[in-house]
Structure 1
Amino acid sequence: MFQALRTARRRISDLDHALVRRCAALPKSVADPALRNLSTLANHSKLWFALAGGLALRKGPTRRAALRGVAAIAASSSTTNLLAKQLLPRRRPATDLLPAHRRLMSPPASSSFPSGHAASAAAFTTALCMESPLLAAAVAPVAAAVAYSRVHTGVHWPTDVAVGAAVGCGIGLATRWWWPVRPATPALARPSERVAALTGGNGLGLLINPSSGDSDPSSALADLWPGAEVLHPDPGGDLVEQLHLELDAAGDTIRALAVAGGDGTVAAAASVAGVRGLPLAVVPSGTLNHFARDVGVTSAQDSDRALTAGSAVHVDLGAVSVDGEPERWFVNTASLGGYPDMVRMREKWEQRWGKWPAGAAALVRVLAEAEPIEVRIDGAHRKIWLLFVGANSYQPKGFAPTWRPHLDDGMLDIRYVRADLPLSRIRFAFAALTGALFNSHTYVQQERQSAHVEVLGERVALACDGEVMPPGRTFNFTAHDEALRVYRPEHPAE
């Protein structure tokens, strides 16, 4: 066996030297300084981090691709520099193998095997491909040039680059284990046959939350739907009650309701539309727009096409009654525990730091200071860190709930993290980091049509679609099958 290994190593070395000689024989050209500068620019992944920063400015798949790419770079750099280079040391090519004008001013002194530059380039490009294949296709030539530049400048053997690229591709693909890729297609739902077909906004009641998202869509929607009746509820009052009052005053002139805002505003409009039997058009103008993405509406133009065609689908809604009060509807999720605290902290800090930095800081703070909640869930006594309830079944299973394959399955997705097991917080964190939540006893996931949760200690707050409600002790969750009709184009955007 050792003889076979020595033979294989000698053949690899012979191949490397042959390829380097071929590279050295290439004539001098303008590509030499360009590749040298590109190789230097990619040091410590500066090139990829800069590109990711630019991509993150745009919402949607572009931002998700940038975040996944940064995560892949971090993992690949750790694997190559902290693990592989230490365990598999190898001399770099001799300086006299290549012409002097190609060499780097400050060549690296670490192990040659494998190429960290090639690993980071491949990891970043592979991660981009999972979120946006077109974006990855544009970046791939640059990534390939960075990888080749390490051979062209004489700091790596060709097999160093090949193995580094293979490691990077593998790590880029492995991010799916911790961060599943959201499907490009919208959630399935049963088409509706009885909705009003409206043009120019005639017969449409329009609710706009100008403070949602990054810009106020009022002027654009006024141009798109000049015939719509804009509703003006008081921001400080109960939005649901005010919408009912305004619709009562409008009488029969409003045949459908449209809402532009985040998921909290959409949930309020959905509850009113569901009770009144009005179809709902959604304009994604909030920060996350989970509901609009699941429905398959990516812009006001999508909703306008659906309104004009009278195309809609049936959608389930979730509802919760707190301490016997009237039900509060939610379109996405409700939660107890750390999430409401995180929302409050985020709202407190976001004016100074911005929503995303404030949200990240709030999450770290909550995880560090969380206290368990003693509850009974359908009669079973538990201590939990947090409780999640989703309207419809969420995917992926055994991981952070991200999307819904169906909007009309008539079920609640109930998940909670147990705090009554030894070292539960550490076990949960380890399972989450290793992608093994589905097999962890600390993580419970069930699907039901209803659930009763009784808090045995102090009253706790509930968050519905990101909005924090007054605290309570008893929470009755119910799934309402096909409670709402939502406008969606016959061929939703993918």
Structure 2
Amino acid sequence: MREAPKTRSVFSRLDRAVFAQVAQRTWPAAEPVLPRLSTSANRGVLWFGIAAGMWALGGARGRRAAVRGVASLALASLTVNTLAKGAVRRKRPVIDRVPLARRLPRQPLTTSFPSGHSASAAAFMTGVALESRGMGAALVPVAASVAFSRVYTGVHYPSDVLVGMALGAGAAFAVRGLVPTRDLVPVPARPRAEVPALPDGDGLVVVVNPSSGAGTHLMDPATQITTLLPKAEVFLCGQGVDSLPDLLETAAAEAARRGGVFGVCGGDGTVNAAVAPALRHRVPLLVLPGGTFNHFAADLGVDSVADGCHALAEGHAVRADVGRVRLHGRGAAREPVYFVNTFSLGVYPELVRLRERWSPRIGGPAATLLGAARVLRTATPLRAEVNGKPRSMWFLFVGNGVYRSVGLAPLRRHDVADGLLDVRIAQAGRLARPRLLATAAGGLARTRLYAAARTTALRVTSLPADTHMAYDGEVVPAAPGLTLDKLPEALTVYRPVTG
């Protein structure tokens, strides 16, 4: 019974001795840096800034890492500030021995144990590393410096920092337990397809759409492709007289003539435009992410141009389903419309139209927020028949494959060849506007206002004349009647091999 206080006393003396040693040592290189770094991490400002940079420049993997890092930081901060600091009310160190030049402009008023700054630093770094080891490794020196700065500036004991970092890392793993990282949920891997391996790109004919996701790449995609695959033939959209559809048709035909591979680099709309030529000419498709979100490429595990090029070089591919929309009624086009991600009716096509109209002037994120506000204020329910049953609905969503979701928001598919359509309907009725707000908040997933089904075909009829439909981010007028079904395993696509 007497050993515990004695043990605590030993650790306390050691803790204070290390603090004193740090205070007494001279650190010339650290003096102009660490106090400022410590202050920059107040309220997570440093980490939010890094997350914004990762979101803007890091591609799909960078966006996932940024979100996971911020979520981990939020959980760590909540745990430390509401539970840990209240449970252990340790006083701050006496800073008499700390040189004035090191001290912070404003001393913290909260208790000392554990260090919130250290918890946030470790949580953000670990969360990022769980999504991207490379980005996480780059953050290790920054996170370690922030943690050490708390001892260096005299506001924490070493044990405060160590426990804070342990809590932060634990928070990141707790977030991963709630939302698994992609290494825990393998990318779709079946059924595998026999395809040519082209280590130097000889036989690849690829179309690059430079206007997709402009400004989001550290390196020009066309340059990156020619560097990794020097014998590939690269066509840039916009440099000739051909429109994008004509250029894609020409490239697919040339790839078929050579017995090679048809490639496309762009956003989801560009990838969608390449599907029909790939199906017509029966050529395998190399999808390289070149847009903003790149949903299809991400679901294949192709997070970067390099990922796709390596899959081509090694000859790894799978077969994927293709969603099909056949249009019926007066003025309907004879050719079907294909989609590899999602199809929708209702408020979402209107949101996409507003975003595309406003984003050149105010940017994509602001245009999305303003568009959502406009839709929530002005939209009216869509009336139509779904499989012969009258419906009044805010939206109809159809996924090419079953999506994993948080609330109503589809996030990712586990399988791109499951043979199913993921159908979701948010119904209207009385109190229509509050119901739309609840839908936007994801609050209808377990009520009678929300219908969901997995099927192989769906028929929508009696659509109003001014109805628009969205597929893979493209918005076009809809026909009076639509039949949605699937072409199972119709498309052969390259993707990186997984362990």
Common topology (TM > 0.5) = yes
Which residue in the other structure is 1:61 paired with?
A: 61
SS at match of 1:402: strand
Which segment drifts farther, 283-292 or 378-387?
A: 378-387
Amino acid at match of 1:55: M
Which residue in the other structure is 1:445 paired with?
A: 452
Question: In 2, distance between residues paired with 1:236 and 1:335?
Answer: 32
Change (3 A) 1:402 1:95: same
Which ranges of structure 1 fall in alignment gaps of 5 or more residues?
Answer: none
Change (3 A) 1:26 1:60: same
Which residue in the other structure is 1:278 paired with?
A: 283
Question: In 1, distance between residues paired with 2:169 and 2:358?
Answer: 38
Question: In 1, distance between residues paired with 2:368 and 2:240?
Answer: 23
Asked whether 1:269 is paired with 2:274, we answer yes
Which residue in the other structure is 1:293 paired with?
A: 298
Amino acid at match of 2:454: E
Question: In 2, distance between residues paired with 1:166 and 1:368?
Answer: 46
1:288 deviation in Å?
A: 2.3
1:294 deviation in Å?
A: 2.7
Does the Cα contact within 8 Å between 1:321 and 1:327 map onto a contact in 2?
A: yes
TM-score normalised by L of structure 2: 0.77
Asked whether 1:468 is paired with 2:475, we answer yes
Does the Cα contact within 8 Å between 1:24 and 1:99 map onto a contact in 2?
A: no
Which residue in the other structure is 1:424 paired with?
A: 435
Which residue in the other structure is 2:21 paired with?
A: 26
Counterpart of 2:412 (choices 403, 414, 417) is 403
SS at match of 2:59: coil
Which residue in the other structure is 1:314 paired with?
A: 319
1:358 deviation in Å?
A: 3.5
- CA deviation map 1:260-294 (0-9, x unaligned): 22221222221222133232232332222222233
Change (3 A) 1:228 1:152: closer
Does the Cα contact within 8 Å between 1:85 and 1:111 map onto a contact in 2?
A: no
1:157 deviation in Å?
A: 6.0
- CA deviation map 1:299-357 (0-9, x unaligned): 55665566566654322100112345432011111122332222222222222334344
Asked whether 1:191 is paired with 2:196, we answer no
1:292-441 equivalent positions in 2, closer than 5 A: 292-298=297-303, 312-324=317-329, 325=332, 326-367=335-376, 369-396=378-405, 398=407, 400-420=409-429, 423-425=434-436, 427-428=438-439, 439=446
1:122-141 equivalent positions in 2, closer than 5 A: 122-140=122-140
TM-score normalised by L of structure 1: 0.78
- CA deviation map 1:457-487 (0-9, x unaligned): 5642111111111134433211111112224
Question: In 2, distance between residues paired with 1:196 and 1:156?
Answer: 59
Question: In 2, distance between residues paired with 1:121 and 1:256?
Answer: 45
Change (3 A) 1:80 1:367: farther
1:77 deviation in Å?
A: 4.5
1:70-109 equivalent positions in 2, closer than 5 A: 70-74=70-74, 76-77=76-77, 83=82, 90=89, 92-93=91-92, 95=94, 99=98, 101=100, 103-109=103-109
RMSD over aligned CA atoms reads 4.5
Amino acid at match of 2:269: G
SS at match of 1:60: helix
Question: In 1, distance between residues paired with 2:378 and 2:170?
Answer: 36
Amino acid at match of 1:321: R
Change (3 A) 1:353 1:72: farther
Percent pairwise identity: 39
Which residue in the other structure is 2:42 paired with?
A: 43
Amino acid at match of 1:424: R
Question: In 1, distance between residues paired with 2:26 and 2:462?
Answer: 71
Which segment drifts farther, 477-486 or 280-289?
A: 280-289
1:402 deviation in Å?
A: 2.4
Which segment drifts farther, 308-317 or 235-244?
A: 235-244
1:451 deviation in Å?
A: 1.5
Which segment drifts farther, 475-484 or 305-314?
A: 305-314
1:248 deviation in Å?
A: 7.4
Does the Cα contact within 8 Å between 1:331 and 1:465 map onto a contact in 2?
A: yes
1:236-255 equivalent positions in 2, closer than 5 A: 252=257
- CA deviation map 1:43-91 (0-9, x unaligned): 232332343344332323234322332344455556655x559976947
